[in-house]
Amino acid sequence: MTPNIRGALLMMGSMAAFTINDTLVKVVGQDMPLFQLVATRGVLATVLVFLLARHLGALHLNFSRHDKWLVVLRCVAELSVTFFFLTALMHMPLANVTAVMQALPLAVTLGAVLFFREAIRWRRIAAIAMGFTGMLLIVRPGPDGFSIYAIYALVAVVSVTARDLITRRMSAEVPSMVVTLATSLSITLVATAVSLFEGWVPVSTTSGVMVASAAVFVLVGYIFSVMVMRVGEVGFVAPFRYSSLLWALGLGWAVFGDWPDAVTLLGAALVVGAGMFTLFRERSRQPVD
């Protein structure tokens, strides 16, 4: 199996695991405060990660100080993702918030132009413009369609972009399980601290089972999201991120009875189409696009 095929499978597995986790969290979040939920899920996920890492012999810090700082920065980015994304998820339909997240490749391209002065020509400019037009159709700024939680989802996009770029900068000596454990532990500690001010409620058996299941799925998502950034070509693997939208559409309809309206679906199609075009152009372009 080639590195690109492994990367594609890891990306699709990561997207499926995260979307199923999101569905479970959204269901449980109707009866449990957000930070209690994240803390409870985090304890379970962290224990599972620790046991797995210990079994694999991956618990070591034999890598450079520079990589250790990158691990810390990645944890900070993941904390931002967790807060902004889950807050948006609790107040928006699953498919809508997932559709907003599909702007990630466009955000990476635009960031490279703005901050790193990369050359860009009219085709990619047109793709970016089309993608952000689709974004406007999804979030619909205006008194009738706009939700402040759409902004939370957009901030989550920026945070995921930072997280993935930081991961890509890590050397091969950093074990993926160490990164995963550091991420899970940091989220758990912060969520537990905040939950003490938010208050806790009793947890039913059903909710407990769903939180435990979410912990397993988020663990799989964490591991795959670290591994996928370290195998294959980004330009080949990244388009498979869009499989999460298919999962979100299906689960949103099956679990919550939500189906996006025509305008939202059109916006999602524009975002996905623009992102696919940008990624494929990135794969095939010459030194200057």
Q: What are the residue boundaries of the structural domains of the chain, listed by start?
A: 3-284
- Residue 39 binned pLDDT confidence (cut-offs 50, 70, 90): very high
| Highest mean pLDDT: which range of 76-90, 122-136, 233-247 | 76-90
Chain centroid to CA 213: 18
Q: Tokens 């699709």 sit at which residue? A: 12
Nearest to 76 by CA among 167, 187, 168, 157: 187
Rounded distance, CA 163 to CA 90, Å? 22
Residues of 234-271 as b/e, b for ≥16 C-beta within 10 angstroms? bbbbbbbbbbbbebbbebbeeeeebebeeebbebbebb
Is pLDDT above 60 for 278? yes
pLDDT at position 171: 85
Rounded distance, CA 267 to CA 70, Å? 35
DSSP, residue by residue, the chain: --HHHHHHHHHHHHHHHHHHHHHHHHHHTTTS-HHHHHHHHHHHHHHHHHHHHHHHT-----S-HHHHHHHHHHHHHHHHHHHHHHHHHHHS-HHHHHHHHTTHHHHHHHHHHHHH-----HHHHHHHHHHHHHHHHHH--STTT--HHHHHHHHHHHHHHHHHHHHHHS-TTS-HHHHHHHHHHHHHHHHHHHHHHH------HHHHHHHHHHHHHHHHHHHHHHHHTTSS-HHHHGGGGGHHHHHHHHHHHHHH-----HHHHHHHHHHHHHHHHHHHHHHH--S--
Instruction: Give the list of residues 6+ apart from residue 27 with CB closer than 8 angstroms, or none.
Output: 210, 255
122-131, 152-161, 224-233: range with lowest mean pLDDT: 122-131
Is pLDDT above 90 for 75? yes
- What does pLDDT average to over the chain? 80
Is pLDDT above 60 for 285? no
| % the chain with pLDDT above 70 | 79
Is pLDDT above 50 for 286? no
Is pLDDT above 80 for 221? yes
Measured between alpha carbons, how far apart are the two ends of the chain, in Å? 30
Is pLDDT above 50 for 143? no
pTM given for the model? 0.73
Higher pLDDT, 158 or 130: 158
Rounded distance, CA 173 to CA 175, Å? 6
